[in-house]
Amino acid sequence: MKPDDEEARVDPSRTSRRTRETRRKLVEAGVALLRRADYAAVPVAEITQLADVGLGTFYNHFAGKDELFDEAVQSVLNAQTDRMATLGQADDSPVTTAAIAMHVVLGLAASDPAVAVVVARNGLRLLDAEAALVPQARALVQAGQAAGSFAELDVDLALSLVGGSLLGGLHTWWSNPELVTPEWTVELVARVLVALGCDLGDARRASSSGLDRVTGRDAG
């Protein structure tokens, strides 16, 4: 085969990389737009302009804007799992690890309030996704059960308790922010831990410690 013929052939790996890069740019644009109150009304042309990709490529990746923004929210939530990992310590109990994870999610209200509002509004749909925090939460519940820290609840039931409580907490912050104090947040997470099978005193200590770790309020 002549060199010119070789160059004319499409390199599948290069095409795949280009496709992934285009999708990444679109999702990053979606994340940026989530922070605008009118994000749902943004035209596709504005999304592709922000992503610096061709207008015609959008529908090669997404059926519509709702699908893009769902993936953008998932991207933000995926980043929270990385934060959980950085806050954890090797000797943390499953209860402390779970408390940290819940405080990270509730902490979106402070760290990324615009996205927290989107999660509060659309969270029930996000609970069905096997991306983002759902596998992480499942693993935490199973680890707690294996260690004897959590009751032997059906895991999906446990996830419903956790997910519903966290979404309720974010919704309370959105609708009545004056109610959401550090003490309120500690008690919410503690009560979720109790529902999973923890002793109330242990749950409150783990929740308070978890909030300290997430917010750095005990630093220095």
Spell out the domains of the chain, with CATH numbers in brackets.
Answer: 12-62 (1.10.10), 75-215 (1.10.357.10)
CA distances from 130 to 17, 67, 125, 136, 138 (A): 24, 15, 11, 10, 10
Q: Is the pLDDT of residue 13 over 80?
A: no
Amino acid symbol at 213? R
| Sign of the C-alpha dihedral computed for residues 166, 171, 181 and 133 taken in this order | positive
Amino acid symbol at 51? A
Spell out a b/e string for 126-160, using b for 16 or more CB atoms within 10 Å of the CB, else e.
Answer: bbeeeebbbebbbebbebbbeeebbeebeeeebbe
Q: What is the pLDDT of residues 172-218, one digit of tens each?
A: 998 899 999 999 999 999 999 999 999 999 999 999 999 999 998 65
Q: Is the pLDDT of residue 14 over 80?
A: no
Q: Is the pLDDT of residue 53 over 90?
A: yes
> What mean pLDDT do residues 83-99 have?
88
> What mean pLDDT do residues 38-60 have?
93
Residue 105's region, left for phi above 0, alpha for psi from -120 to 50, else beta, is alpha
Query: Mean pLDDT over all residues of the chain?
Result: 86
Nearest CA-CA partner of 129 in 76, 74, 82, 168: 74
User: What pLDDT does residue 6 have?
Assistant: 44
- In contact, 162 and 137? CB cutoff 8 Å: yes
- In contact, 29 and 47? CB cutoff 8 Å: yes
User: Is 0.85 topped by the overall pTM?
Assistant: no
Residue spans of alpha helices (H) in 52-199: 58-61, 65-87, 94-106, 108-111, 113-126, 133-146, 155-175, 182-196
